[in-house]
C-alpha cells in the first residue's frame, strides 16, 4: 500500500520515550515539530527499504509551522504514526524537497 494512503488512515501519533529523548538530545527536534511535518505541504514520503527488515519504515521530508526543514523516519502501527527519528534535512534532502 502506498505510504500516503496509509497516512490518510492515521488518527494520531505514538512516541517511544527513548526515541523522543534521543531526537531531542541528538538533533534538537521537539515532538510537536516532527508531527507538524505531516500537516504541512509539500510533504514527500517514501519507503525506507534499507531499514525495513523488521517492519515497514518510511521517511518524510517536510517543514514545520516555522519553516524548519525536517527529515522524519517513521513507521505506521495500526492507525498511529510512530516517529522513530527526526532531524534537520541535509543539503541533498533540502534540494530534493525544494524541487518538489
pLDDT of residue 39 exceeding 90, the answer is yes
CA distance 63 to 78: 25
CATH number of the domain bearing residue 33: 3.10.450.530
Could you read off the pLDDT of 48-66 as tens digits, one per residue? 877 556 789 999 999 999 9
DSSP conformation letters of the chain: --HHHHHHH--EEE--HHHHHHHHHHH---HHHHHHGGGSSS-EEEE-GGG-SSS--EEEEEE-TT--EEEEEEEEETTEEEEEEEEE--HHHHHHHHT-
User: What is the reported pLDDT for 74?
Assistant: 96
Number of domains in the chain: 1
Q: What residues make up the domain containing 64?
A: 3-98
Mean pLDDT (the chain) is 93
User: What is the reported pLDDT for 3?
Assistant: 81
Provide mean pLDDT across the span 5-32: 94
Could you read off the pLDDT of 62-95 as tens digits, one per residue? 999 999 999 999 999 999 999 999 999 999 999 9
More confident residue, 14 or 5: 14
Amino acid at each position: 500500500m502506498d505510504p500516503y494512503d496509509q497516512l490518510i488512515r492515521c488518527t494520531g501519533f505514538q512516541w517511544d520515550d527513548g526515541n523522543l529523548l534521543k531526537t531531542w538530545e541528538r538533533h534538537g527536534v521537539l515532538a510537536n515539530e516532527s508531527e507538524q511535518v505531516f500537516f504541512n505541504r509539500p510533504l514527500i514520503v517514501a519507503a525506507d527499504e534499507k531499514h525495513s527488515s523488521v517492519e515497514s519504515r518510511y521517511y518524510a521530508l517536510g517543514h514545520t509551522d516555522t519553516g524548519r526543514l525536517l527529515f522524519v523516519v517513521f513507521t505506521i502501527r495500526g492507525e498511529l504514526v510512530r516517529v522513530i527519528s527526526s532531524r534537520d534535512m541535509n543539503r541533498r534532502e533540502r534540494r530534493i524537497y525544494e524541487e518538489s
